[in-house]
Amino acid sequence: MLQKTYENIDSIGRAILSIKAQGVHNKELAEVIYPNGQKAFAQVIALDGDEVTLQLFGGGFGVSTDCKVRFLGKPIQVGFSDDMLGRVYSGNGQPIDRGPELLSDMVRVAGPSINPVKRLIPKDMIRTGVPMIDVFNTLVRSQKIPIFAKAGEPYNRLLANIATQTDADVIIIGGVGLKYDEFHYFRQRIEEAGSKNKTIMFIHTHRDSIVEGLMVPDLALAVAEQFALQGKNVFVLLSDMTQWSDYLRQVANAQDQIPANQGYPGDLYSQLASRYEKAADIDGAGSLTILGVTTMDDVTHPVPDNTGYITEGQFYMKDGYLELFGSLSRLKQQVNDRTRPDHRSIMNAMARLLSEAEERVKAQKFGSVKDDYSLRLLEYRKTFQTELMDPFRYLELEDALDLCWDILAQHFKKEEVGLSSKLIEAYWPEKGKFKILKEMIHE
């Protein structure tokens, strides 16, 4: 295809450039050529007559009116080959680990979604060893689920733990807006866990342009999808999608789009959805599971809010604990009836009692909690937190379930827990015969 070069740049913004050109395709890849011969990528995002709008991978800073733009006659693509395992790439798809450039097949980025009839109903539990996940919000292969947490919580540690403790064939890390030390941490953890040769990293740090950051999830997911189509079970880690959304907001505002909520573009939901929806268990092939991070202060903020409507639940991390309330795995019902017969029931009973206890916490502030039952509920809440909510305590599911029974028996009478008589008979431990829980000093 003829590659034309154009010189009449009309305007240059922070991440946007417009230029007069003909015969240009929507979403076409282009090169901005600086007067000194340096090049940076750009992509067409809108056309109006001969006015072409591009987003600049390298940002608008330093672009001058005497730069040239060459349209490359191809869409954005990403390389795909097994040799990429163990490598680190930037948001424009170039290796940044000082390793050699690879010759590989190019695959399309941000392609259409898979036909729903090719999806399987997710049915395989992923054992993580984290009690709050395995017991209360079971992770399922092909699930898309983020961690909701304030900036500064150890979410990346949990992310890396889950990815390396499970049986994923391929791990793809998409880092958006990472601090350098976070990037370093991921790399170190992956190496320590011996997972390096099944991991590919696409990394955008704060020194890179926001447009590259915007590309990271698409590159990561496009590569992941290819592995999944080859029959691999792939884990994609995306951290942090709140920053990604902020970049989206910046680019949308630069285009003068009418903002919807808090300056975010009206299509924030669709934009997030088209990424997260890449998660799938594919009929006759492998699977793609997405674990994300959504940093937030308030769950009603547009980013966590829209994310919550898209993902299949979320893990809510607060003060270093994985919380029960606010966390949800929408797919757990697909698997937790096939683990152990008491799984579902005890999960619900523990939650109901904890919710009762939370009410007492409120009441306690009024000094009105004096009765024995309420005091026991508050004790129960304490035990629950210390024994179960630590995201870095490793327990097999069965042990975690036994621990739940121990905790119930520690604080309650059989008829107080609202479990069917059948289950109580089968699992209720005698005092002093706890399997997991260390006996408390009192009682």
Partner 1 sequence: MHKAKGEVVSVNESLVGVRTTDGAIMNGEVAYIIVEDGKRLKSEVIDVKEGNRAYLQVFEDTNWMKVGDPVEFTGLPLAVKLGPGILGSVTDGLQNPLYELGKIEWFLERGLEVDPLDNTQKWHFTPMVEEGATVTGSTVLGSVPEKLFEHKIFVPFSIQGNHTITHIVKEGDYTVDEPIATIQDSTGKSMELTMAFEWPVKRPMPFTERSVPIKPMPTGIRILDALFPIAYGGTACNPGPFGAGKTVLQHSLARHSQADVVIIAACGERAGEAVEVFKDFPELIDPRTGKSLMDRTYIVGNTSSMPVAAREASVYMATTVGEYYRKQGLNVLILADSTSRWAQALRETSGRKEEIPGPEAFPMYISTLISAFYDRAGVEILGDGNTGSLSIIGTVSPAGGNFDEPVTQATLLSTGAFWGLSRALSDARKYPAIDRIDSNSKYPSQLEQEEVTYLLELLRDGKTIASNIILMGEKGITDESYIRYQKAELLDAVFLQQNSFHEVDGVTHPERLRLMFNMIQEIIDTPVDIKGKEEIRSHFNFIRQAFLDWNYMKPDEEGFDKQKTKLLNLLKQMGHVAENV
What part of residues 115-154 is at the interface with partner 1 (CB under 8 A)? 115-122, 142
Task: Retrieve residue 188's tokens.
Answer: 């170190």
Query: Among 11-19, 161-169, 272-280, 430-438, which window interacts with partner 1 (CB under 8 A)?
Result: 272-280
Task: Pick one of 362, 396, 428, 440: the residue that binds partner 1 (CB under 8 A).
Answer: 362
For partner 1, the binding residues in 400-439 under the rule CB under 8 A are: 415-416, 418, 420-421
Task: Retrieve residue 20's tokens.
Answer: 């007069």
Measure the CA–CA gap between 404 and 400, rounded to whole angstroms.
6
Q: Are strands 199-205 and 170-178 parallel, antiparallel or unpaired?
A: parallel
**H/E stretch holding 343:** helix 343-365
Query: Among 33-41, 173-181, 187-195, 359-367, which window interacts with partner 1 (CB under 8 A)?
Result: 359-367
Write down the least CB distance from residue 86 to partner 1, Å.
28
Identify which of residues 23 and 99 has a Cβ nearer to partner 1 in the complex: 23
Task: Pick one of 70, 157, 330, 393: the residue that binds partner 1 (CB under 8 A).
Answer: 330
For partner 1, the binding residues in 308-327 under the rule CB under 8 A are: 308-310, 312-314, 325-326
Give the three-class secondary structure for 84: helix
For partner 1, the binding residues in 77-116 under the rule CB under 8 A are: 111-116
- What 8-state DSSP symbol labels residue 370? -
Is 2 a binding residue for partner 1 by CB under 8 A? The answer is no
Task: Pick one of 4, 7, 10, 50: the residue that binds partner 1 (CB under 8 A).
Answer: 50
CA distances from 176 to 92, 205, 351, 443 (A): 12, 7, 34, 51
Write down the least CB distance from residue 269 to partner 1, Å.
6
Neighbours of 54 (CB within 10 A): 26
Task: Pick one of 85, 96, 363, 436: the residue that binds partner 1 (CB under 8 A).
Answer: 363
Write down the least CB distance from residue 335 to partner 1, Å.
12
For partner 1, the binding residues in 370-389 under the rule CB under 8 A are: 370-374
With tokens 């808090």, the residue in question is 262
180 by Cβ neighbours in 10 Å (0-12 / 13-18 / 19+) ranks as: exposed
Task: Retrieve residue 112's tokens.
Answer: 């259409």
Give the distance, in angstroms, between the CA of residue 386 and the centroid of all CA atoms in the same chain: 26
Task: Pick one of 77, 165, 230, 257: the residue that binds partner 1 (CB under 8 A).
Answer: 257
Task: Retrieve residue 137's tokens.
Answer: 């919000």
Q: Are strands 16-20 and 51-56 parallel, antiparallel or unpaired?
A: antiparallel
Identify which of residues 399 and 416 has a Cβ nearer to partner 1 in the complex: 416
For partner 1, the binding residues in 169-198 under the rule CB under 8 A are: none
Measure the CA–CA gap between 336 and 16, rounded to whole angstroms.
49
Question: Please, which residues have CB within 8 angstroms of residue 178's CB and are 6 or more apart in sequence?
Answer: 186, 203, 204, 205, 206, 239, 240
Write down the least CB distance from residue 248 to partner 1, Å.
13
Identify which of residues 374 and 383 has a Cβ nearer to partner 1 in the complex: 374
- 40, amino acid identity: A
Give the three-class secondary structure for 143: coil
Identify which of residues 305 and 399 has a Cβ nearer to partner 1 in the complex: 305
Give the three-class secondary structure for 243: helix
Task: Retrieve residue 166's tokens.
Answer: 């499970």
Task: Pick one of 95, 259, 379, 393: the residue that binds partner 1 (CB under 8 A).
Answer: 259
Measure the CA–CA gap between 195 and 280, rounded to whole angstroms.
23
Identify which of residues 104 and 348 has a Cβ nearer to partner 1 in the complex: 348
Is 75 a binding residue for partner 1 by CB under 8 A? The answer is yes
Write down the least CB distance from residue 387 to partner 1, Å.
20
Identify which of residues 100 and 367 has a Cβ nearer to partner 1 in the complex: 367
Measure the CA–CA gap between 336 and 345, rounded to whole angstroms.
10
Write down the least CB distance from residue 316 to partner 1, Å.
10
Identify which of residues 65 and 368 has a Cβ nearer to partner 1 in the complex: 368
For residues 56 and 66, is the Cβ–Cβ distance under 8 A? no
Report the Cα–Cα distance between both ends of the chain, in Å, rounded: 82
How many residues line the site for partner 1 (CB under 8 A)?
A: 84
Give the distance, in angstroms, between the CA of residue 59 and the centroid of all CA atoms in the same chain: 26
Write down the least CB distance from residue 319 to partner 1, Å.
18
Write down the least CB distance from residue 144 to partner 1, Å.
8
Identify which of residues 178 and 331 has a Cβ nearer to partner 1 in the complex: 331
Is 277 a binding residue for partner 1 by CB under 8 A? The answer is yes
With tokens 């304030």, the residue in question is 150
